[in-house]
Chains A and B, each alone.
Chain A
Amino acid sequence: MKPVKSVTVVDDPQIHEDQYVHAVYDQIASHFSSTRYKPWPIIAKFLSDLPTGWIGLDSGAGNGKYLPLPADRPGCILTIGLDRSRNLLQIAQHAGSEPGRLITREVVWGDVLGSGWRSGVFDYAISIATIHHLASHGRRKLAVQRLLQAVSPVHGRVLIYVWAIEQDELSKRSIPTSDTDGSNPHPTGEDVFVPWVMSRQHKQDTPVVPTLVAETPVYNRYYHMFANGELKQLAVQAAEEFGLVIGPRGSVYDEGCRGIEIVQEGWERSNYYVELRRWVS
């Protein structure tokens, strides 16, 4: 079992993320990427169901494993990958390439809290295992609002995945226990450091912030592990403050009313997910 340590964010959240997220991913990019190749089923299905000609944003694309999808209709949609780690983007840039057949993906170096897009220009946005790296509730909420802002007000679809406190039995990690039985009406999750143990063949020359353990660098990555119900609550709060009505599209609303429907939510393989769909009445 890899130990996961509770941590309290005492710095400015941005400085905390710079040290315990951005710097770490740039260091571990190649090793990390070699362990992240299998798409999760619900995300693969989400992308596979999108109509031909749709354009989307993968906010926190990492090594770009979702950029080539759907596997059965490659090139029918275009997903643009955004990430904060330039080293991961260099891998994402050629995600899905095979020997002798180099494929170039669209990738952009940027922050998930930025908004360097025309508003509403995307048909869909996904943010997989990304928002849990933001070190305050306000920043996580802003990240959700950036996704809502990026997609079409008429039909935009959004899928978000974050790490759950509730881990499945196959997980390699043990989680510190706290008030996580789901009975809390205002679930707040848990701030933790998750160690990344660098394998020798991926060791780099100039590591930053490692703790040396038997000559193997260990990098602490910051996560906010979500409690049961917290992701949905975050999405609802973000949407409401963004001026959207929560609920299915219906005739009860005035013409031009903007809203968002929660299409599905759940837990899959130690993660919580929520899918949202924007609508205008």
Chain B
Amino acid sequence: MVRLITHNLLACHVKGCTTNNFPLVFQDVQVELQEAEFNPDFIRNMLSRLEWTALVNAAKQVGDTSLPLEQPDMMDDELLQKLHHALMEIHVIEGAMVCQNCKHVYPISNGIPNMLLAEHEIG
């Protein structure tokens, strides 16, 4: 599935595409909500791996505007809940992710993103 946690790790890997290749931009997405068990320790500890601005923008693209633009210093329970929802409960089922730099389109179908490249695109 493509949840925002995965989206925040993915980058375009077309040959020669090495700048501005993250984050990929969601396009024409269908979203499904699935409840997941809240694990505040996981969210708190994992957060330093993520790019905050990319996460906030990706959340907007899938219809979630609950996150503050700037990453707050204090992680209170309310914010952890919002992060949990944005990262773990929103599933992009159909659509695509597009590289802002080279415009390569990575399709998402049945919840599975296709990161395969054609032979001439492999670096």
Using a CB–CB cutoff of 8 Å, the interface residues on chain A facing chain B are 14, 51-55, 75-78, 80, 82, 84, 86, 89-90, 93, 104-111, 113-118, 121-123
Cβ-neighbour of B115 out of A78, A106, A108, A121 (below 8 A): A108
CB distance A115 to B123 under 8 Å?
Answer: yes
Residue with the highest number of chain B CB atoms closer than 10 Å, among A93, A113, A114, A123: A114
* Distance A98 CA – B86 CA, assembled complex (angstroms): 25
CB distance B39 to A75 under 8 Å?
Answer: yes
Using a CB–CB cutoff of 8 Å, the interface residues on chain B facing chain A are 1-3, 5-6, 9-13, 22, 34, 36-37, 39, 41-47, 49, 51, 91, 106, 110-117, 119, 122-123
Query: B11 to chain A: which residues have CB within 8 Å?
Result: 116-118
B24 to chain A, nearest CB (A): 9
Query: B114 to chain A: which residues have CB within 8 Å?
Result: 109-110
Query: B36 to chain A: which residues have CB within 8 Å?
Result: 75
* Distance A53 CA – B47 CA, assembled complex (angstroms): 8
Main secondary structure of the interface of A (DSSP, over half): loop
A90-B110, A108-B112 are known; give 18 further A-B pairs, CB within 8 A.
A51-B45, A52-B42, A53-B42, A54-B45, A75-B36, A78-B5, A78-B46, A80-B6, A84-B116, A86-B112, A104-B1, A106-B2, A111-B116, A116-B10, A118-B10, A118-B51, A121-B9, A121-B49
* Distance A105 CA – B111 CA, assembled complex (angstroms): 10
Query: B44 to chain A: which residues have CB within 8 Å?
Result: 53
A54 to chain B, nearest CB (A): 8
Cβ-neighbour of A55 out of B10, B13, B49 (below 8 A): B49
CB distance B116 to A109 under 8 Å?
Answer: yes
Query: A104 to chain B: which residues have CB within 8 Å?
Result: 1, 34, 91, 111
* Distance A84 CA – B116 CA, assembled complex (angstroms): 8
Q: State whether A108 and B42 are in contact (beta carbons under 8 Å apart), knowing that A93-B112, A114-B122 are contacts in the complex.
A: no
Q: State whether A75 and B10 are in contact (beta carbons under 8 Å apart), knowing that A110-B116, A114-B122 are contacts in the complex.
A: no
Residue with the highest number of chain B CB atoms closer than 10 Å, among A55, A109, A116, A123: A116
* Distance A166 CA – B9 CA, assembled complex (angstroms): 38
Query: B2 to chain A: which residues have CB within 8 Å?
Result: 106
Residue in chain B with minimal CB distance to A86: B112
* Distance A114 CA – B113 CA, assembled complex (angstroms): 14
* Distance A89 CA – B115 CA, assembled complex (angstroms): 13
* Distance A114 CA – B3 CA, assembled complex (angstroms): 20
B34 to chain A, nearest CB (A): 6
| 8 pairs, CB–CB < 8 Å, chain A vs chain B | A53-B42, A55-B5, A75-B42, A80-B6, A106-B2, A109-B115, A114-B115, A118-B51
Query: A54 to chain B: which residues have CB within 8 Å?
Result: 45-46
CB distance B116 to A114 under 8 Å?
Answer: yes
**Minimum-distance CB pairs A-B, first 10:** A53-B45, A110-B115, A116-B115, A53-B46, A116-B13, A115-B13, A109-B114, A106-B6, A75-B39, A118-B11
Query: B43 to chain A: which residues have CB within 8 Å?
Result: 53
Cβ-neighbour of B111 out of A82, A93, A114 (below 8 A): A93
CB distance B42 to A107 under 8 Å?
Answer: no
* Distance A89 CA – B17 CA, assembled complex (angstroms): 27
CB distance A106 to B116 under 8 Å?
Answer: no
* Distance A77 CA – B39 CA, assembled complex (angstroms): 10
Cβ-neighbour of B1 out of A76, A93, A114 (below 8 A): A93
